[in-house]
Amino acid sequence: MLLHLPNSLGPPFPGTQPSQRPTSGPPLSQDSRLPVSCPSPLPAPGACGCSKMADGDGLGEAATAAASSPAPAPGQSPSLGWRERLRAGLAGTGVSLWFVAGLGLLYALRVPLRLCENLAAVTVFLNSLTPKFYVALTGTSSLISGLIFIFEWWYFHKHGTSFIEQVSVSHLRPLMGGTESISEPGSSSNRESETSRQNLSECKVWRNPLNLFRGAEYRRYTWVTGKEPLTYYDMNLSAQDHQTFFTCDTDFLRPSDTVMQKAWRERNPPARIKAAYQALELNHDCATAYVLLAEEEATTIVDAERLFKQALKAGETIYRRSQQCQHQSPQHEAQLRRDTNVLVYIKRRLAMCARKLGRIREAVKIMRDLMKEFPPLTMLNIHENLLESLLELQAYADVQAVLAKYDDISLPKSAAICYTAALLKTRTVSDKFSPETASRRGLSTAEINAVEAIHRAVEFNPHVPKYLLEMKSLILPPEHILKRGDSEAIAYAFFHLQHWKRIEGALNLLQCTWEGTFRMIPYPLEKGHLFYPYPSCTETADRELLPTFHHVSVYPKKELPFFIHFTAGLCSSTAMIALLTHQYPEIMGVFAKAWCCLGSECISNWNDLTV
């Protein structure tokens, strides 16, 4: 069992993992039901997904593909045909051929171009230069290389890749014979393309089951700090969700629903609120209008709960009416689906209001009733709300019962499920756990189970421990999250940090053991240990979901590109030469003349050889 003691606690993400530099790809999907992906220049040979045991909702196909196509062992490449080997060899020797051809052309034109005489004249000119010239030259070089270094550093931290490297790959490589050839069926390029298509399902954006209220929480944060906690991309996904949940094709039959259909498409919050009041003037029982006002106009949770109760009264009336007419036509069935979504949404938000106002048992009852009344709607992840409320009640037996149902091999995983399971196992041993005692006598069976549960949770989402251990500051969670990404880690830690703190020694055990997970994951990240390999597209998607003032957590930790090291070294060396030349002009002048004399001797030797 891998036990990592606090005194050897290293960086959050050890540098034993390979650096991934995702190239700039197409913009993120504007549909919350479509996956969000960032193409990777080196896709993993095996199919990727969110969990080996279950992916659900589109990820099962990736799991089937992974089972049917085993990945090659690390260090081995798939077998290629003779045509592929020939093309690869020609592409690799293209640069060498160009270099040899250039040298041959230079040697052939040495006499017409009078290269030797011109080089001798340059040497005489350099011998006549004063130290001030070298100070100006090296100072200018240092300034230019310093500006390039600053730009490279900024571009790398903003986009995750080197600008010079990206331009070289995109524009210079095709000119030097490095263009990709048309691959035949069964070639490695086709396999990489297939893997890239499977990577699309990794970065599907999910609705945050614990998302906050816009008016009562997000907007109050903006009033206090002056910062916007939600990105335009996140709010755009929410607008699409609202249109999916709260509208249908028969809205034109009711004027109030027609107004609300336009309201959900409005970008300006005051315009949406005004449209909601217009809908209430047309129909006092318009449930969706009350929902919009509760979400965006209410400035406190109490006001939001009052409006949701009005919405519940109207929604139940409309839902009973739709149930009676559901078999009359397909349009009535669509209305019933829409009214069911509205009713479930209202009850869920009422449960969240009760949870925030301290009526936790009432919130638990509402959630349990929802899960019994509408069992097909498991995709809404109401059980995650229930888990958080039960943890607040410290009803750990009930939490274990919920986990037994939803932490199943056939269901998709989440940080809430994995880390709650780890918390329950940690609870049994954390109060008596001591790193010194464990190192001396070894781990007991219960401690081994707790450590394995922590390793499982960290492998699923490696960003969470930094927030639980308060190594990284929290922000308000977004309305949408990316599973296994930084956004999911923020959403989990924002609500569950208090539950970890409540259990004595739980964070201590987490701090001692969580980094051992990274030594269990196979190197490189072509395979996972308990889950599929960590997806490479999470950084790009999280940057779209999280505000700009938040420093996005990246896994695996990226190494600085070569050109950042190169420009930093060039800037430092030229600045040092400029300083030495300015302080000691005579000595540096001697060094410069020595180099010029060495160049003159090389030119004379070249002349002797050519003659």
DSSP state of 82: H
CATH number at 292 reads: 1.25.40
pLDDT in tens, 168-207: 666 655 655 544 443 344 444 444 444 444 444 457 888 9
- The dihedrals phi and psi of 481, each to the nearest 5 degrees, come to -130, 160
Weakest mean pLDDT among 61-65, 348-352, 405-409: 61-65
pLDDT in tens, 298-330: 999 999 999 999 999 998 988 888 888 777 777
pLDDT in tens, 121-138: 766 666 666 667 767 777
The 3-class secondary structure across 202-216, one letter per residue, is: HHEEEECCCCCCHHH
- The dihedrals phi and psi of 145, each to the nearest 5 degrees, come to -65, -35
Pair (404, 520) in one structural domain = yes
pLDDT in tens, 74-97: 333 344 455 555 555 555 555 567
What pLDDT was estimated at residue 252?
A: 79
| Mean of per-residue pLDDT scores for the chain | 74
Pair (450, 322) in one structural domain = no
Tell which of 316, 346, 380 closes a domain.
Answer: 380
Pair (401, 544) in one structural domain = yes
Please report where in the chains the tokens 């190192």 appear, as a residue: 439
What pLDDT was estimated at residue 50?
A: 39
Mean per-residue pLDDT for 560-565? 65
What pLDDT was estimated at residue 312?
A: 93
- What percentage of the chain exceeds 90 in pLDDT? 27
Pair (549, 454) in one structural domain = yes
For residue 386, pLDDT over 70 is answered with: yes
For residue 251, pLDDT over 80 is answered with: no
Pair (371, 254) in one structural domain = yes
Residue 556: is the preceding peptide bond cis (ω within 30°)?
Answer: yes
Pair (347, 450) in one structural domain = no
Extended strands (E) in 416-564: 480-482
Weakest mean pLDDT among 130-144, 324-338, 511-525, 543-557: 511-525
Pair (297, 360) in one structural domain = yes
Confidence of residue 66 (pLDDT cuts 50, 70, 90): very low
What pLDDT was estimated at residue 513?
A: 83
- The dihedrals phi and psi of 205, each to the nearest 5 degrees, come to -90, 130
Pair (586, 510) in one structural domain = no
Does 107 map to a domain? no
Question: In terms of pLDDT, which residue wins out, 272 or 435?
Answer: 272
Which tokens in the block code for residue 277?
């009041």
Q: What is the span of the domain harbouring residue 236?
A: 211-380
Does 468 map to a domain? yes
CA distance 161 to 21: 5
What pLDDT was estimated at residue 37?
A: 34
What pLDDT was estimated at residue 499?
A: 94
Mean per-residue pLDDT for 554-579? 70
Mean per-residue pLDDT for 163-170? 69
pTM score over 0.75: no
Does 531 map to a domain? yes
Pair (571, 550) in one structural domain = no
CA distance 396 to 399: 5
Pair (597, 522) in one structural domain = no
Pair (301, 363) in one structural domain = yes
CA distance 63 to 46: 10
Does 198 map to a domain? no
HSE value, Cβ hemisphere, 13 Å, CA-based, for 43: 23
Pair (407, 527) in one structural domain = yes
